[in-house]
Structure 1
Amino acid sequence: MFIQIIQGKCTRQDDLHALADEWRRDISGGATGWLGGTYGFTDDDMFVGVVRFESREAAASNSERPEQGAWAAKLMAVMDGPMEFHDCDDVMLLMDGGSDRAGFVQVIRGRVDDPARLKAMFAETDTIHRMRPDILGATLALEADGTFTETVAFTSEDAARAGEAEGAPESMREELEYAMAGATFYDLHRPWFESA
């Protein structure tokens, strides 16, 4: 799997959401290898999109389509400024990778000097599921320099906050502190989802 993270400031949220609906309705049919996406806005108008493709080649092929280019120009026009794009070939899934039923999504961006350590923690699916039943699934996307984007789907924000308040078990506390040191959290209170 290949994941592209897109983010940028956007105060024209309704316009962007309408463009996303347009893409799904009119353009997604020709996007070979597109699997889906998770999208939303933070309270301070940061748009975050986490888009999944079968491969980097499929994503590149989609980007080269004329209709995709025309749509992307309309997207840029509604943004408040430039957008960031992060491409990740190194992807892990936790419990099938998430859920379109999530009531709350948290996107976490950070950087570690030992990606293998982070991946080992992420692979503790059974422990994480027992510890946090409010988590429906997640994806971990790693860039070559150790920058990571974790996208976590929760049943609801209330459940997520209750789980946070309980804290991690002793066995995972050190690893979580390592992974989250200096990380930025993007809370998507009203996420939306698209699937192929």
Structure 2
Amino acid sequence: NSCSSLIPLKERKCIVLWVGGAHSARNDCEISLVVENATSTSAKNLLYSEALKLDLTGVLYLVMVDGSSDLIELRDYGRSAGDPWSTFERYLLEWEPAVGVPHSLSSDYSGEKEAQEVFNFDQAVVAFHIEAAPLLLPFWEFDDDDDSWRPSGTAQATVAHAAYQHHVVQFNAIRVVLANVSSEGIALHTLKKYVL
């Protein structure tokens, strides 16, 4: 499929970019590309390059999501939008961080804080402000990326913290959960945005 066949994005503030896995059979998929033998890093870079072909006028966030990821709501601080993805979007639009992430099991968590600044963050669900994206994306690719996303994720988190100190924010109302997904190659999907 070609990105030129996508529905116009004029009313969207966030574009959700899925990388393979659990959501690959969703009916609201706008574009589907399959990349054989790709690392998570190279697949995300390809997805980012496809997103850049879209008309991004009015879009504030590109949200990179590993296909095995989903969100759940942990607490309601008065901003719940009824489902965790819409709640995440609401947080992004209200707080406008350079990088926004939900809580993950690998991150620090203070249930008393609605949001907190983080240095290192899990790459399962990451929202990049459209103005920060050119500095932080594409991901840096390292020789050992085949074994783990951590080298490129750590490099990205370091640059994000240096360039956007106090604007890399974790929202504690929502948490990333991972499904067990096996994949033969990595499918790339750009999904329709959840409209508030």
TM-score, structure 2 normalization: 0.28
- Give the number of the structure whose residues are more often strand, by fraction: 1
State which structure, 1 or 2, has the greater radius of gyration over its C-alpha atoms. 1
TM-score, structure 1 normalization: 0.28
Structure with larger RCO (C-alpha < 8 A, sep 6+): 2
